[in-house]
């Protein structure tokens, strides 16, 4: 089995599982469903040096209420991208492995289990802007998924603005810029851009998601 075939066969196995919960195929190895946020399941597949195929899974969220303020990732405009293994209790790196059609069927059982125990609970808990806001208010870096300190402040402020807490959003950005007043311009640039956008931001014009 070549890599291109492995990707196609993996899609055949996973698409019915995801479609049963309203995730539609958006592009190769990317599924999405819309709600209070756009929620993504993204896979990357590689051929391991030991001969098998390995698939990594990550979960993405795009918040419509922040779109005027934060562009998100270049590909899908995602604001949060959380590798699936980080949602496990031990957080150790893991992949879905397979070499042939028989192992793909076994992988499907594992995918269903992960979908029910990790993927759906993640989106149910953090797919709402207010719930993500509550998570990002934590001072513990592990709670920011893969965001840096500055990225966490940017998203937190943008969500606050989208939820109508404009003064709080400005306060968050100004407080962070004060901490970075002697930092290199590249550390301040994104926050300064966000502050400028906040000055003309109107949350009522944003999607209610």
**Domain ranges within the chain, ordered by starting residue:** 3-126, 129-205
Q: What pLDDT, on the 0 to 100 scale, is given for residue 209?
A: 46
Q: What pLDDT, on the 0 to 100 scale, is given for residue 27?
A: 94
The structure's pTM equals: 0.89
Q: What pLDDT, on the 0 to 100 scale, is given for residue 138?
A: 95
Mean pLDDT of all residues belonging to the chain: 90
CA-based end-to-end distance of the chain: 42
**Residue numbers of the chain with a pLDDT score lower than 70:** 89-91, 202-209
Burial readout 43-67 (b: 16 or more C-beta within 10 A, e: otherwise) = bebeeeeeeebbbbbbbbbbbbbbb
Q: What pLDDT, on the 0 to 100 scale, is given for residue 208?
A: 45
pLDDT digits (tens, 9 = 90+) for 120-154: 999 999 999 999 999 999 999 989 999 999 999 99
Which residue, 115, 113, 118, 121, is CA-closest to 18?
115
């Amino acid at each position: 089995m070549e890599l291109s075939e492995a990707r196609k066969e993996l899609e055949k196995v996973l698409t019915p599982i995801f479609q049963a919960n309203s995730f539609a195929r958006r592009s190769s190895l990317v599924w999405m469903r819309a709600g209070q946020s756009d929620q993504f399941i993204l896979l990357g597949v590689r051929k391991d040096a030991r001969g098998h195929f390995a698939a990594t899974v990550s979960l993405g969220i795009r918040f419509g209420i922040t779109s005027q303020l934060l562009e998100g990732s270049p590909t899908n405009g995602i604001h949060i991208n959380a590798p699936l293994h980080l949602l496990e209790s031990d957080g150790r790196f893991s992949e879905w492995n397979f070499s042939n059609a028989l192992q793909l069927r076994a992988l499907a059982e594992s995918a269903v289990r992960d979908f029910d125990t990790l993927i759906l609970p993640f989106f149910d808990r953090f797919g709402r802007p207010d719930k993500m806001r509550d998570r990002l208010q934590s001072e513990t870096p592990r709670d920011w998924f893969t965001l840096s300190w500055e990225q966490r402040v940017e998203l937190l402020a943008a969500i606050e603005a989208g939820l109508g807490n404009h003064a709080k959003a400005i306060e968050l950005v100004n407080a962070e810029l004060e901490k970075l007043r002697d930092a290199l311009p590249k550390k301040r640039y994104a926050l300064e851009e966000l502050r400028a956008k906040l000055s003309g931001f109107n949350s009522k014009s944003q999607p209610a998601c």
